[in-house]
Structure 1
Amino acid sequence: MSPSIVIRKAHPEDIVEISRLHARVFGPGRFARSAYRVREGKGHLSRFCLVACIGKEVVASIRTTEITIGGAKGAILLGPVAVDADHRTFGLGSKLITAALEAAHKGGAKLVVLVGDHPYYGRFGFNAVPPGQIVFPGPVNPFRILAHELEPGALAGYRGLVVAEPPGELPDA
Structure 2
Amino acid sequence: MTRLLLERADDTYEVELLYDLAFAPGRTALSSYRLRSGPPVEGLSWMVRDEYDVLAAAIRYWPVRVGEAAALLLGPIAVHPVRQGEGLGALLIRHTLELASGLGWSRVILVGDAPYYGRFGFRRDLALGLEYPPPTNPERLLALELEPGAMTGVAGLVEPA
Shared fold (TM-score greater than 0.5)? yes
**Corresponding residue for 2:10?**
13
**Corresponding residue for 1:169?**
none
Structure 1, gaps ≥5 residues long: 166-173
For 1:1-24, what per-residue CA distance to the aligned partner results, in whole angstroms no more than 9, with x for missing partners?
Answer: xxx111122122211011000111
1:85 equivalenced with 2:81 (yes/no):
yes
2:96 maps to a residue whose letter is A
**Corresponding residue for 2:32?**
35
* Superposition map of 1:81-160 within 5 A: 81-129=77-125, 133-160=129-156
The structure whose RCO (Cα within 8 Å, separation 6+) is larger is 1
Tell me whether 120-129 or 48-57 shows the greater mean CA deviation: 48-57
Secondary structure of 2:84's counterpart equals helix
Tell me if the contact between 2:41 and 2:63 (Cα under 8 Å) persists in the aligned partners.
no
Per-residue deviation, 1:57: 2.5
Following superposition, which runs of at least 4 residues in structure 1 exceed 2 angstroms of deviation? 32-35, 43-47, 129-132
Q: Calculate the aligned-residue CA RMSD, in Å.
A: 1.8
Identical pairs, percent: 39
TM-score by length of 1: 0.84
Q: Structure 1 103/130 Cα, relative in aligned 2: closer, same or farther at 3 Å? A: closer
Q: How many residues align?
A: 160
Counterparts of 1:131 and 1:151, CA distance in 2: 15
TM-score by length of 2: 0.90
